[in-house]
A and B are shown apart, each in its own frame.
Chain A
């Protein structure tokens, strides 16, 4: 009975984070023979590491701490008769003939033949290339969280954190709580990435968040003894004269998460590049089904988001699978959950996720977010879009507008309102706004291209006809763009008009000139440096797969998890081709190295 349950479950769930656990509870409550495998020692995924209180929805344990939520979910799973859980067990591949699973305690690979698969494997951390990035003492933020919050071990005394998203901010707070010194958080863009409240918390502790700064190199021979940081210029390149040394023994990289799509890719599901969701993600429908019929996804793997949404997505996927297995109609419950998701995603902080899902044809309505989409029928018109939502005492937009189209009103703290009837599209407001929060947009420009006017304060100024890189609100390169015209202004805020794919009209908010940013290792398994990649691109290897094979990028034991996105990024910067045109590195099993002995058949086992 147990063997059968393991070898032929009706539903195999890969990953025991909030998404996988929630799905397991739903499936087992409906009597579905479910097997949940997770490679960690404890179930709970990212939650186990979180000691802070969660935002979100009451039904989904808001204001409980992350690890407490994990305990509640795990408890419920443990009490359920229809779920078997295997920990310290990794899925190594979804093969044509079976799912390969590696039992780390017995060091044995066995096969599973499930009816349905839900992949809820979460995300892995992005890496960075800089000189010295192969020294001991450099960690991903997740690894440090595991050490500190799960094992109570501090890997050093003085920390530098790279990246000011929520993860970097929360980690700084947790390290402080654990008694470590956080020397600084460096952030390459000009603003803090995470929620203001998280930032405020960290700032109150006296931890400096240095925007427009980057890590230049790590110092040390055997291990990290310090770090050199510097201010960056408009191309995000360090300015040498601003370099300074910090004495630190740990450098934590908190530069974002990438969905762990390897298994889904191996199963043959289609991926699409959605920058807002973390990079390449599986194409899926409202019910979380991928393009492979019996393969579902949920949680961070489907798009980097939150525990709450991961739980809801897990439930929706499980309910859909139950419907099919048991021939039931559960649409009422599914709709209720969809509504929850939709409310959750309606806020301004989910704007990015909404934009991302839109690219898959999954639409969630936003509330109180000013967006040109709210003014239908104006697609032909060149008009300003004002992205200024926080009440701040400021009104040059109002005072500069020659036609009185913009109104801030009596209280200078009011966010501006615009009357498009009165607007002539002159662009003066965009040049006047000290916050660079106004963009000129004409959605219908030519064919399927839109025109965007971006306020630009750097030199050299691009010229008409130049091809530049278009960045989104987070500074990610999303496409290349053609400069259509440049309006120079005395106040040095110039307006650069670019044309881009219409799809991107609501994403692109910045441009940079294509240019290389040399640093160090791209692939640490195979010792490939940025210079190697640049030289190869110059020699004509402009196809990612050719480049990869020429330099052996991603062929080492890491399976390309860190280096492939770095190499893709270089290729994008150097050639000006967007990641939409490039394809992700093909994932080949096993997703991490397994010993031959674990696969070998023979006397002692089933073979």
Chain B
């Protein structure tokens, strides 16, 4: 299997992680195509948050494995990606939310994750800049954190290159050739390339790539906006997030604050423009929760896309129709944090047919035939 030719579509964090893991596991013939530049998709636009506090057990496991790998990232790859474990503080504002947080924490602890439940008073004590008005409780996981997504993406790509992976940027895969339910090759402006395995890591374009290969995916892409302030002294260590109030915010190591929210009215499709409404809503909401923001200035505002599956959980594994096609898509708002574990697991799956740390069966595309367990902890 290690000599087979493996083509990866997508140079975001997922494709890059898969390429890197295939290469360190000894795959000799890996080629990655990116239609734009490295980190041009969701990865280069994302918040960089790394969280293990999920409501679905599969996600908790995947995230915990990823955190192990982020902890050793610097030793393993030799790149400092500004990784910092400052924790995630999740705030509950309704009775219902508080109750589900307590249930989640129970499950998360069963998985061996250390999570604290905090009263509004202890939140105030530990994070005095938070206005706790209306907060019923908080949960805090100290090993959650964040990293710089550009650097992580570049690190995987550069290491993969050094290990022999061929990476072509500004090269779109325009045709996938198949014959009797197998991919036989792909076409780019550089020419035709025969391949034994095709990996779809195309993020927001996952459905288009699946369609090119004669299969389909139940995924849609939705715009998500995000903005950043000018940098100041570092003081806010945790990423703070609320599902009912619909926001997340973190301070980067560089000092700027990154923040975003979801928009239930968003229509599916690719749209890179931004709205003034977003800035106003975020400003109104977050200057209340974090009053220090009032005097800070917004410097940039942009948008990227969540690739969404019906249950807000990723689709990782073999295609149900096309034998030698693998997907790693549908990561909604958490593909960055899962990338190390996903890259490792999918590389193992492709090369050996099984995985050593993560059970991917929760994430296969046949699950949509079964009953869905929807991930609720999303913004």
- A interface, CB within 8 angstroms of B: 93, 95-100, 109, 111, 266, 268, 539-541, 543, 545-546, 549-550, 552, 555-557, 559, 588-590, 593-597, 599-602, 607
Contact = CB atoms under 8 A, between A and B. Distances in A.
B294 A600 contact: yes
Contact of B279 (A556, A599, A602): A599
Contacts of A555: 228, 299-300
A100 B273 CA distance: 14
A118 B59 CA distance: 50
Contact of B284 (A93, A593, A602): A602
A268 B271 CA distance: 11
Contacts of B294: 595-597, 600
Interface in B266-303: 271, 273-277, 279-281, 283-284, 286-287, 293-302
B37 interface: yes
B254 interface: yes
A100 B276 contact: yes
Contact of A597 (B38, B44, B295): B295
A97 B275 contact: yes
B39 interface: yes
Interface in B154-188: 154, 158, 161, 169-170
Nearest to B257: A596
Interface of B: 37-40, 44, 150-151, 154, 158, 161, 169-170, 228-230, 254, 271, 273-277, 279-281, 283-284, 286-287, 293-302
B275 A599 contact: no
Contact of A589 (B39, B274, B284): B274
Given A111-B276, A543-B37, A550 B154 contact: yes
A367 to B, nearest CB: 43
Contacts of B283: 596-597, 599-601
B297 A596 contact: yes
B321 to A, nearest CB: 35
Nearest 9 A/B pairs, CB to CB: A593-B297, A599-B283, A96-B273, A549-B150, A543-B37, A601-B284, A97-B275, A95-B276, A600-B283
B275 A600 contact: no
Taking each of A98, A546, A597, which has the highest tally of chain B beta carbons within 10 Å of its own beta carbon? Answer: A546
Contacts of B271: 96
Contacts of B302: 588
Given A593-B297, A600-B294, A607-B284, A97 B277 contact: yes
A73 B106 CA distance: 72
A545 B300 CA distance: 16
19 contacts: A95-B275, A100-B279, A109-B276, A266-B273, A545-B40, A545-B44, A549-B39, A556-B230, A557-B230, A557-B299, A588-B300, A588-B302, A589-B300, A595-B296, A596-B298, A597-B294, A597-B295, A599-B280, A601-B280
Contacts of A589: 274, 300-301
Contacts of B169: 543
B280 A607 contact: yes
A109 B281 CA distance: 13
Nearest to B40: A545
Nearest to A100: B276
A144 B11 CA distance: 47
Given A543-B170, A549-B39, A555-B299, 18 more contacts: A98-B277, A99-B276, A545-B37, A546-B37, A546-B154, A549-B44, A557-B230, A588-B300, A588-B301, A590-B299, A590-B301, A593-B299, A594-B297, A595-B294, A595-B297, A596-B295, A596-B297, A597-B287
Query: Interface centre among B161, B271, B277, B286, by most A CB within 10 Å?
Result: B277
Nearest to A112: B276
